[in-house]
Amino acid sequence: MVEVPEYLLKRAKEARERLERESSGQEPAASAAPAASSQQPPTPAVVSPAPGTPAGAASGSGKIPPHLLDRSRSAADRQAMPPAAAPPPAPPAAPPPAGITPTGPGGHTQRLLTVVKSGSIQDVKAKPSDKVHVWPHLLLVEFVAALLVTAFLLVFSIFVNAPLLELANVNETPNPSKAPWYFLGLQELLTMFHPMVAGVTIPGIALFLLILTPYIDRNKENAPEKRKFAVSLMTIHLMFWAVLVIIGSFFRGPGFNFIFPWQAGLFFDF
C-alpha cells in the first residue's frame, strides 16, 4: 500500500477544519470575505479605447476583447493611464445547505488521495534473464562444432586405415555371426524372447514411454539436479541397452552361446 505524504495529510486536515468552521458559523465574516473573494473570478477593469481607435470598434460590445485593446496601446499610454480601481469585495459566501457536498471550481468534487509512485505504473524490464535465442547463440555454436568434428574425421581417415575385414564369402557364414554393435541389443533380446516380442513389443513400449515422458514430467526446471524423474528414466534406458550391447559383444561366442571372455577368448572385432 502506498503511503500518503505528510504534507497532503496536513493540507487535508486544514481544509476539513475550515469546512467545519464555515458550516457551524463560528468563523467571522471578515475572515470569510477574503476567502470567498479569492474564489470569485476577478472583475475585468473598464478599459478606455486607445487613441486613434475608431469609435465603432470600441463601442462594439464584445467584438474586440479588452485584452486585445490593452495590447494595442503603446508603452507610453499604459504608463500615463491611472491604475485600475480594485473590484469591490464580494459578499461572504453562505454555508452550503445540509446534505449538499461543497464543490470546488467548476463543480468538481475530486480530491487528491495519494501520490502514485512511478514504479507502480512504469514497466521496467531490467531483470536479469538466463534465456537466450536459438539463433544465433545455439545454432552458431552447433554449426562450428559440426565443422570441427568433420575436419577431425577427415584428417583422421587420411592417416588411419579403417579395420576392415576381407571380402565376404557367400558360401561361408562366420561363427559367431554378430550384428553391428548398435543392433547387438536387439540380437541379444532375440536369444531371450520370441522374435515378435523382442523385435516389436519391447522396443515399441520403450519408444512409447519416451514419447510420453514430456507429458508425464511437467517440471520446467533446466538444472539437471532438479530433473530427477527425467534423469532417472534416461539413465535406466541407457543402462538397459548398454548391458545388452556389452553382453552381445564380449560374452557371446560360437553359436552365439554364452561364454566368459577371459576363458574362451574374445569373439569381437573392433
Same domain, residue pair 192 and 232: yes
**Which has more pLDDT, 153 or 59?**
153
Same domain, residue pair 152 and 224: no
Work out the mean pLDDT of the chain and round it to a whole number.
76
Give me the half-sphere count of Cα atoms (radius 13 Å) on the Cβ side of residue 77. 12
Assigned domain for 37 exists: no
Same domain, residue pair 207 and 237: yes
Same domain, residue pair 176 and 197: yes
62/138 Cα distance (integer angstroms): 76
Residue in the block written with cell 559367431: 176
Same domain, residue pair 253 and 178: yes
Given a cut of 50, whether residue 60 has pLDDT beyond it is no
Assigned domain for 2 exists: no
How does residue 124 score in pLDDT terms, banded at 50, 70 and 90? Answer: low
How does residue 95 score in pLDDT terms, banded at 50, 70 and 90? Answer: low
Question: Last residue of a domain, which of 164, 183, 215?
Answer: 164
Q: Which domain holds residue 149?
A: 134-164
- Report whether 254 contacts 177 (CB < 8 A): no
Assigned domain for 27 exists: no
Question: Last residue of a domain, which of 117, 143, 164?
Answer: 164
Same domain, residue pair 145 and 212: no
Assigned domain for 235 exists: yes
Number of Cβ within a 10 Å radius of residue 89: 11
Cell representation of residue 91: 459578499
Q: What is the mean pLDDT of residues 67-84?
A: 64
Cis peptide preceding 66, ω within 30 of 0:
no
Assigned domain for 122 exists: no
Same domain, residue pair 223 and 251: yes
Residues 3-39 have pLDDT tens digits of 777 888 888 889 889 888 888 875 444 444 444 444 4
- Report whether 184 contacts 178 (CB < 8 A): yes
Work out the burial of residue 80: count CB atoms within 10 Å of its CB; fewer than 13 is exposed, 13-18 middle, 19 or more buried: exposed
pLDDT at 126: 62
The 10 Å CB-count burial string (b at 16+, else e) for 223-242 is eeeebeebeebeeeeeeebe
Same domain, residue pair 160 and 208: no
Q: Nearest-5° angle of CA 119, CA 122, CA 126? A: 85
* Backbone dihedral angles phi then psi of residue 105, each to the nearest 5 degrees: -60, 135
Cell representation of residue 48: 478606455
Q: What is the mean pLDDT of residues 53-66?
A: 52
Same domain, residue pair 212 and 154: no
Total structural domains in the chain? 2
Same domain, residue pair 239 and 186: yes
Assigned domain for 202 exists: yes
* Backbone dihedral angles phi then psi of residue 252, each to the nearest 5 degrees: -125, 125
First CA to last CA distance, the chain: 73
Same domain, residue pair 158 and 183: no
- Report whether 210 contacts 237 (CB < 8 A): yes
According to the per-residue pLDDT averaged within each range, which of 47-56, 90-99, 135-144 is highest?
Answer: 135-144
212/27 Cα distance (integer angstroms): 82
Domain with 225 in it: what CATH number?
1.10.287.980
Length of the chain: 270
Question: Last residue of a domain, which of 147, 164, 181?
Answer: 164
Assigned domain for 1 exists: no
pLDDT at 32: 43
Assigned domain for 212 exists: yes
2/113 Cα distance (integer angstroms): 11
pLDDT at 164: 79
Same domain, residue pair 202 and 159: no
pLDDT at 259: 92
